[in-house]
Amino acid sequence: EAGVAQSPRYKIIEKRQSVAFWCNPISGHATLYWYQQILGQGPKLLIQFQNNGVVDDSQLPKDRFSAERLKGVDSTLKIQPAKLEDSAVYLCASSPDGYTDTQYFGPGTRLTVL
C-alpha cells in the first residue's frame, strides 16, 4: 500500500514570496490533515478535511495560509506572503475517516524562509 506522498521535500524562499505544497493521501482515506512542525516542537494541526469539506481550521492563519482539497483526494497548502516564522516542516497525514485512531504521515516538506 502506497503511503502519503508530499512534494516538494524541500523549499527555500524569501520572505513575502508565495509557496505551495502538495499532498496525496493514502487511497480511499477520507480525512486529510495538514500540520506545521516548527523546529524543536511537536506538530501542530493547521487544518483538517473530511472529503472535500473543512472540519477544523481554527489554527490556520487565514490571512496568509489557504488550503483546498478539490474532489476530496489530493490537497494543496499555500502560504502568501511568507514570513520568517513560517520556516518549518509541513506534514500531511491521512486516515480512513475522522473517527479512526491512526493517522498516517507523509515525509513532510521542509520550508526555509530567508
Q: Which residues bind other proteins (CB under 8 A)?
A: 3-4, 31, 40-45, 48, 55-56, 58, 91, 93, 95, 98-108
Q: How far is the CB of 46 from other proteins (least distance, A)?
A: 12
Pairing mode, strands 65-68 and 75-79: antiparallel
Q: Which is nearer to other proteins, 45 or 81 (by Cβ)?
A: 45
Distances (CA, A) of 74 to 94, 110, 111: 10, 19, 20
Single-letter amino acid code for the residue at 25: P
> Minimal distance in Å, beta carbon 8 to other proteins?
13
Residue 80 CB, nearest distance to other proteins (Å)? 26
Alpha-carbon gap, residue 104 to 21, rounded angstroms: 18
